[in-house]
Structures are given as structure tokens and as C-alpha cells.
Structure 1
Amino acid sequence: MIVASAHTPTLLPAVGAALAYGVAALLHNHASPHPPRLALLLAWLLHLLAIGAGLMTSEPRFGFGPALSVTAWLVLTVYGVEYHILPRLQPHWPLAALAAAAALLGAWFPGQPLQPSYGPLMGVHLALGIACYGLFATAVVHGWLLRRADKRMRAGIAQHQELPLLSLERLTFRFTQAGFVLLTATLIAGMFFGEQVYGRAWSWSHKQVFSAMAWLTFAGLLLARWRMGLRGKQAVRILNIGAALLLLAYAGSRFVMEVVLGR
């Protein structure tokens, strides 16, 4: 049975963020770049407020909704920083629509309260895991941009104002490598410090199995890249498979537990 219950402290800023994201996307063709940028900045701040409202309370909650919300916020943050460093990186407003949906999901499905049995390292473990999600999600976005640029080049469409293919490829794999390092650290923390993290001994579960499968997929991708120079569509496909497995590891398992089973 699917049950949803909005978390009141996060609902108003999340709705405000979603509306501001929508305004930013609608204004992307405005004659002046300032209105969409201001709307996007407001959305980013309200989104951060919604995330903080769910965590900085006497009964902090976390689940698949907040996980997706924080991931989307991190992706926008990284992309925004890149956009200012690399002027030829084009803004892609569909990201604003995805962030709006993620902000609303985080408010409507706030997750279960964090258990008192969780150890003091749970915050560190969650931070590592969500940072890992954000880096791999950013890598997936760059992989999509890479495939899009490749198709445009093959179709003979001019790309003078866009980031070169090799630059997009380097960024994609740099984010993948950074995410792999954090994923490794997250798995090690859970495996060897499970009692301090979860308040109980570490054991295999759906989350651990999918996380291990994702780790093996990313390890294989990076090894093939290093030893055989794997690139292009095949590399992006493997990246997407690993990201999907990682998504199932936490967000997927929590969705089933919180929404479908109502636990």
C-alpha cells in the first residue's frame, strides 16, 4: 500500500523551490540572463532550506525522498560552479525540472525518524553516501551531455559554443573516479564500523548487495578505461548501469520499505 505524508517544516520551502525552479526554466529564453539566474538562485536557497528543515529538527528524518532531494541539489550546485568556471558549458534547464520534482518528493516522503540505536558515525556515513550519490549523478549528467554532443557532431551540427567532447569526457570520468572513492569509503565504513554506524553488526541486505554490485560495475568501468581506453557510448552505458544499481541500493530499497510496505 502506497502512503505519503508531507513533512510540514519542509513542505513550504520545497513548494517555493519547485515554483522558483519552474519560473527559472520558463524564463530561460529571456532577453536578459538575470531573471532566470535570480529565480534559479532563489530556488537553490529554498531547496537548501527544505533539506535543512528536515534534518535540523528534534526528530530528524531521512529516507528515499530526502536522498533524491539532496542529490538533485548537489548536482545543481556542482553544475552551477562548473558553469561559471567553464563558460562554454551550456545551461540545461531540464535539470531545474528534475530538481523541482526531487524537492517535492523530499517534502512529501520525508522518511522515517533516524533511530536512537544509530551510532554517532551515522551522520558521517550518510554524508559520504549522499556525496557519493551526488558525484555519480553529476557524472551521469555529463555522460548524457557527452552522448548528446557526440550525436550533434555526427549530425554535422555546429558546436562552436559548446564544451568540446574530450573536455566533457574528462569531466565525466573525473566525477566517476571521485564518486568511486567515496563509494569505497562508504562501504568500508559500513562493513568494518557497522556497529558504531547502525548500532548493530553489519550484515548483507538488499542495500549492501546492490551497493556491492554498483561498486563492481564502477570498478570494471574504471579498469577498462585505464587498461583499454574504454570510451564513448559503451562507457556511458556502463556508467548508467552502475548508477542505476546504486540508486536501487538506498533510494530504491527505502522506497519499497517506506512507500510500498509503509514501514
Structure 2
Amino acid sequence: MILTSVPVASVLLSAAAAVAYAVPAAGAARLSMPAARAALLVAWLLHGVVLCSSLFDGTPRFGFAPALSVTAWLVLTVYAVESHLFPQLKARWTLAGLGAVAVLLALFFPGSPLHVSASPWLPLHSALGIASYGLFAAAVVHAWLMTRAEQQMRQAAGSFSGMPLLTLERITFRLVSAGFVLLSATLLAGWLFGEQLYGSSWTWSHKTIFSVLAWLTFAVLLLGRARFGWRGRKAVRVLYMGAGLLLLAYVGSRFVLEVVLGRGLG
């Protein structure tokens, strides 16, 4: 835990973002819909400022917690867009809680400084990877909403998410497809340009193995849906499996290195 290495301004911004997220998360039952949306918007904006400021406060840092923070912000961005298209979508308190946890984790575990000799293309490569994380995380949230909606329908209790089940399913697989494209681009760039990006050619590290396994899992999911019409619980299980593997690929390995073993970026 290296909170002392974080600038005071970033600490204050992160604390403000976490408090703003806590408002709709803790007061979901008492806040009106406009008030909850306004609080979530303020938190999302503050979170974005925190992420931007981390790029300009001295040497850029990165690690498992900043990766989770960016992922959470991207998921909330997807939700912000969808809430305008589908005002009945109900996931504010869950996503607000996710945002608060992600901001606080990044505050206490800001990661390690990037090497000054890193390739100028490395941020683009990292951005592709994190964007795929965000899209798959958004797909997981939608899959969870889809599962809950299906359960509510079976119990004749109405739709949990407030959205038609087929609409949720369609959005989920659109997110999976987009995430798969970005993940494919990330892996391809690492394979072709690994030496220019990281100073070493492609190696079968834990991160690489889990990333490739995740890619194969998502490929099977998309193929199964296209050829065999996979849907419902079977498709959701495969999506969860792929997302879990992808989580282990970077966030899991960086957590072990940074927190368990106490090492920086290598």
C-alpha cells in the first residue's frame, strides 16, 4: 500500500469521487431517479478527472488497481449512454458501489512508475487492452441483469432490469463482440510488436497464457452463438469463464506481483 506516493490533489479528488459514488449506492431506495442520476454523473466526472490527473502528475503509474479503476469508469460510461436510450435500466446502485471500490483501490494501490524508456506506442497498446476489459466488464454486468430478469420472469415478478430480456441479450453480445475485436488487436500487437513495445519478444508468461485462454473462450462463445444459437445460462456461464480468465491475465498477475510479492512493473 503506497498511498504516500500519491499527490494530495489526487487523494482529495479520489475521496470526493468515492463519496459521490457512495451517495447513489447507499441511498438507492431513498433517492429519486433524477437525484440518483445527478449524483452518479458527478461521481463519473470526478472519476474521469482522477484518471486524467494521474497521467500528468509526475511519472505515470500503472498497476492492477488503476486497471480496475479505468475498467469501472468505462463500464459506467457505457451505462451512461444506455440510460439515455433505455431510461428504465436499473443498475445504478451496483455500478456506483463498483465505482467507489475501484476509486479507493486505485488510491491505496496506485501501481508502479512506467519505465522512462518505454515505447511511445505502449500507452496505445495498454489502452486497447483496458478498453477490451471495460467492454467485457460491461457485458458481464448486462449478463447478470439478463440472468436476474430471466429469474424474475420465471417467478412472474416482472423484469428486474426494467429492460426487455431480448434487448439485454442483444446488447450483451454486442459488447462481447466489440471486446473480442479489441482483445484480438491487443494480442496481435503484442505478438507482432512485443520487442518494440516491451523490449522483448512474445513470451508465454502467466499474463499471456490467461489472455490467450480468455480469447479462445470468447471465440467459442461467439461461434457457439452464431452456429448453435447459444443463449441463456449456457452463454452466460461461458462469458463469466472468459471474463474470469481475462481478469487473471493482468489484474490477477499484477495483484500478486504488487501486493503479495511487493514487486513493481517489470
Shorter-chain TM-score bucket reads over 0.9
Structure ranking higher on relative contact order (CA contacts 8 Å, 6+ apart): 1
Question: Could you report, residue by residue, the CA deviation over 1:131-178 in whole angstroms, capped at 9, with x for unpaired residues?
Answer: 000000000000000000000000111239821111111111100000
Give me the CA root mean square deviation: 1.6
Give the corresponding residue for 2:120: 120
Percent sequence identity is 57
Q: Is the 8 A contact 1:11 1:108 kept in 2?
A: no
- Secondary structure, counterpart of 1:148 in structure 2: helix
Task: Give the whole-Å Cα distance in 2 for the aligned partners of 1:181 and 1:77.
Answer: 19
Question: Could you report, residue by residue, the CA deviation over 1:34-66 in whole angstroms, capped at 9, with x for unpaired residues?
Answer: 322222121111111111222223300011010
Q: Is the 8 A contact 2:148 2:161 kept in 1?
A: no
**1:185 partnered with 2:185:** yes
Count residues in correspondence.
261
Alignment CA distance shift 1:161-1:135 (3 Å): closer
**1:24 partnered with 2:24:** yes
Give the corresponding residue for 2:3: 5
Q: Is the 8 A contact 2:70 2:130 kept in 1?
A: yes
Task: Give the whole-Å Cα distance in 2 for the aligned partners of 1:182 and 1:10.
Answer: 30
Residue segments in structure 1 that go unaligned for 5+ positions in a row: none
Select between 23-32 and 180-189 the one with higher mean Cα deviation. Answer: 23-32
Alignment CA distance shift 1:131-1:146 (3 Å): same
| Aligned residue runs from structure 1 range 171-182, under 5 A | 171-182=171-182
Give the corresponding residue for 1:234: 234
Task: Give the whole-Å Cα distance in 2 for the aligned partners of 1:95 and 1:161.
Answer: 13
Deviation at 1:69, TM superposition (A): 0.3
- Secondary structure, counterpart of 1:158 in structure 2: coil
Alignment CA distance shift 1:36-1:78 (3 Å): same
**1:166 partnered with 2:166:** yes
Task: Give the whole-Å Cα distance in 1 for the aligned partners of 2:168 and 2:161.
Answer: 13
Residue segments in structure 2 that go unaligned for 5+ positions in a row: none
| Aligned residue runs from structure 1 range 224-263, under 5 A | 224-263=224-263
- Secondary structure, counterpart of 1:213 in structure 2: helix
Question: Could you report, residue by residue, the CA deviation over 1:176-214 in whole angstroms, capped at 9, with x for unpaired residues?
Answer: 000000000000000101122112222121100000000
Letter in 2 for 1:158: G
Runs (4 or more) in structure 1 with deviation over 6 Å come to: none
Give the corresponding residue for 1:143: 143
Deviation at 1:94, TM superposition (A): 1.5
